[in-house]
Chains A and B, each alone.
Chain A
Amino acid sequence: MSIFAPLARAFAEGHARDIPDLLSDAHFARDGRATPAAVLIAITDDPHDPQVILTQRPRAMRDHPGQVAFPGGKIDPGEDAITAALREAEEELALPREAVRVIGTSDIYHTGTGFLVTPVVGVVPPGLPLVPSPTEVEAWFEAPLALLLDPASWSANEVFWRGANRRYLELDWQGFRIWGVTAAIIANLSRRITLEALRDAA
């Protein structure tokens, strides 16, 4: 029993309608830089309790140091978002692209630091012995998809940044703090795949 078909159905139904008020930080990206990037939202194929694979970036990294993130990065010339996301996951976690069954791409998220991030949603076998690449990933962990898609899991906080109050979402999962870009991408995905749709799919 694979979660792929029901999840793909929920994904397609969730993306069939317009949602005008998705989160975006485009108004903070003041220098006009807009670099295409892609992340992989890898969901483990466990129909009872699917997990999402997340990484923690090394503290020494230039972009988003120490943050919890999906595997991913810039889209190289000639690549599409799916290719880039799968390549980055392979580089960062030794997650073979052959092991990922892609469902599709979700809404592009414009980060305040000037990235246009395309989330790529895919299903992977559970229990893979993934190994982080030390220069790019400090640690990896799984968080339950149902927890992430539940708006009640998140607390909204505010910070004064670049001359304005900025709201962001935050979730502490087993000592890992999920916030910022990753939280916003999850929040947008939860508008497309609601907790109810996930429960129907599982």
Chain B
Amino acid sequence: MPYEPPPHLAGLTLAQIAELVEQRKLPPVETWSPGQVGESHMVIAADGTWFHEGGPIRREAMVRTFASLLTRDDTGQHWLVTPYEKLSIEVEDAAFIATDCVRADGALAFRLNTDDLVIAGPDHPLRAAGTADEPALYLHARRGCAARLNRSTWAQLAEIALAEGAEDNGWQVTSQGATFSLLP
């Protein structure tokens, strides 16, 4: 099973993106109830860089593996979960960074810094926070964890919205039947 990162979003149909999302296997974190609790001494910085005991984790493959074990509970605490323990991890802003965005048919598809693909919709809502001058857009990625749209992705999304009449509809976009406001 050699690793092949997903192709660029542009040029894929919604069906192709949905199939890639479907293919992505993740550990069945929900089925585990680990007895031990500890600290991972890891931090996900606001720019998406992972740190372990102060040093950046430079291997993207390692970050992808760790990210497959990531959850966030109702109190907002992020955890790295294995079948036997869960380790707290500090997240400065959001666990993921969305680095690309396209309109594919009736959906908005995003690519994350971990090569995951996410299609916005009822299960993956977009949320606008921040201020009108400095909006911060978040996409629900998985297991309570959010992805913050980086500046260029936010600009891509704004262009899509503009082309679809954002100035007349109050800066709303739709994806898979759900409507989201891009204004905080």
User: A-side interface residues toward B, CB under 8 Å?
Assistant: 1-4, 45, 90, 94-96, 98-99, 101, 123-134, 138-141
Contacts and interface: CB of A to CB of B under 8 A. Distances in A.
B28 interface: yes
Given A90-B62, A94-B59, A139-B2, A129 B25 contact: yes
Contacts of B1: 130, 132, 139-141
Contacts of B87: 98
A96 B84 contact: no
Interface in B43-61: 59, 61
B83 A129 contact: no
Contacts of B3: 129, 131-132
B59 to A, nearest CB: 6
A129 B84 contact: no
Given A2-B84, A4-B83, A132-B3, A99 B65 contact: yes
A90 B68 CA distance: 16
A95 B82 contact: no
Nearest to A3: B83
B26 A127 contact: yes
B33 to A, nearest CB: 8
Interface string B58-90: 010110111011000000000010111001000
B27 interface: yes
B16 interface: no
B40 interface: yes
A129 B64 contact: yes
Nearest to B41: A98
Nearest to B59: A94
Nearest to A140: B1
Nearest to A124: B82
B2 A128 contact: no
Given A127-B25, A132-B2, A45 B84 contact: yes
Given A94-B64, A95-B65, A96-B65, A125 B83 contact: yes
Contact of B65 (A3, A101, A128): A128
Contacts of B65: 94-96, 99, 128-131
A133 B59 CA distance: 11
A18 B101 CA distance: 61
15 contacts: A2-B32, A95-B65, A98-B87, A99-B69, A99-B82, A101-B82, A101-B84, A128-B68, A129-B3, A129-B24, A129-B65, A129-B68, A131-B61, A132-B3, A139-B2
A139 B64 CA distance: 17
A200 B28 CA distance: 24
Contacts of A138: 2
Contacts of A141: 1
B82 A125 contact: yes
Among A95, A128, A133, max chain B CB count under 10 A is at A128
Contacts of A124: 82
Interface string B76-119: 00001011100100000000000000000000000000000000
Interface in B112-142: none
Given A4-B83, A139-B1, A141-B1, A129 B26 contact: yes
A85 B28 CA distance: 25
B118 to A, nearest CB: 15
A107 to B, nearest CB: 25
Nearest to A94: B61
A124 to B, nearest CB: 8
Contacts of A99: 65-66, 69, 82
